[in-house]
């Protein structure tokens, strides 16, 4: 059980509905933890059965009623106990790395395309982290404990994305050096002389 604890962690900030949680898992905590709404609703039921959270129905007009979930004291305790256990370092499990491991048995062109897409992806994410950092922590310092955690997270995220983006560039360069082609050459779609 880890997704459940991630949800508990989210609910420490403020009570939320499953719908809000799903959106949260699409932005802030979702930067390093993916979960779709089905997973979240399922986990919420389990947490409620366990007594770790408590739902309060809020009647709305104009929208379906919503269930706002709040941490119970038991939930807080459970979270603290979970957080007191040593964490297990997760393994990366990135398809891209597996492909690099079998580099001489796969086609390089699609790999190159993939690397370029990933480069863009990680650059985007890096820019996004930097944007949030500048907005939430213009001084680069945190005041409260909650802020400190999020500042550290954002910094780690930014650095990670930066590093992976650099890696993609490097890999692309190395592939180009190996195949003797220029890095991208998307222009000049005319005739191309053979390379051997």
| Residue 30, C-beta contacts closer than 8 angstroms, at least 6 positions apart | 24
Q: Which residues of 101-138 are buried (b: 16+ CB within 10 A; e: fewer)?
A: eeeeeeeeeebbeebbebbeebbebbebbbebbeeebe
Name the binder of 32 from DNA, a copy of itself, none, CB < 5-8 A by kind. a copy of itself
190 phi, psi to nearest 5 deg: -70, -140
- Using CB under 7 A, which of 63, 85, 191, 192 touches DNA? 63
| Residue 99, C-beta contacts closer than 8 angstroms, at least 6 positions apart | 106, 111, 114
Looking only at residues 80 through 119 of this chain, which bind a copy of itself when binding is defined by CB under 8 A? 80, 83-107, 110-111, 113-114, 117-118
Looking only at residues 32 through 51 of this chain, which bind DNA when binding is defined by CB under 7 A? 34-39, 41, 43-46
Name the binder of 20 from DNA, a copy of itself, none, CB < 5-8 A by kind. DNA
The interface mask with DNA, positions 138-167, x = CB under 7 A, is ------------------------------
In the complex, least distance from residue 147 CB atom to a copy of itself, rounded to whole angstroms: 9
Q: Of 19 and 137, which CB lies nearer to DNA in the complex structure?
A: 19
- The position carrying tokens 């997270």 is 153
| Residue 80, C-beta contacts closer than 8 angstroms, at least 6 positions apart | none
- Using CB under 8 A, which of 42, 46, 66, 76 touches a copy of itself? 76
- CA distances (Å), 183 to each of 88, 175, 177, 178, in order? 39, 8, 8, 11
The interface mask with DNA, positions 82-101, x = CB under 7 A, is ------x--x-x--------
Q: Which stretch binds a copy of itself (CB under 8 A): 38-46, 129-137, 171-179, 182-190?
A: 171-179
């Amino acid at each position: 059980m880890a997704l459940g604890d991630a949800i508990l962690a989210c609910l420490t900030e403020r009570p939320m509905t499953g719908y809000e949680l799903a959106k949260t898992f699409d932005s802030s905590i979702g930067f390093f933890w993916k979960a779709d709404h089905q997973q979240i609703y399922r986990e919420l039921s389990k947490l409620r059965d366990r007594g770790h959270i408590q739902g309060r129905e809020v009647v709305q007009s104009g929208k379906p009623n919503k269930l706002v979930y709040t941490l119970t004291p038991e939930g807080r305790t459970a979270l603290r106990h979970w957080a007191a256990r040593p964490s297990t370092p997760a393994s990366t499990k990135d398809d891209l790395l597996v492909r690099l491991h079998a580099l001489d048995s796969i086609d390089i062109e699609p790999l190159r395309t993939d690397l370029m897409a990933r480069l863009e992806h990680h650059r985007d994410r890096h820019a996004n982290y930097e944007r949030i950092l500048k907005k939430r922590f213009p001084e680069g310092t945190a005041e409260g404990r909650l802020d400190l955690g999020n500042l550290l997270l954002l910094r780690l995220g930014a650095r990670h994305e930066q590093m992976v983006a650099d890696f993609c560039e490097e890999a692309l360069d190395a592939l180009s050096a190996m195949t003797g082609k220029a890095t991208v050459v998307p222009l000049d779609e005319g005739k191309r002389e053979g390379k051997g």
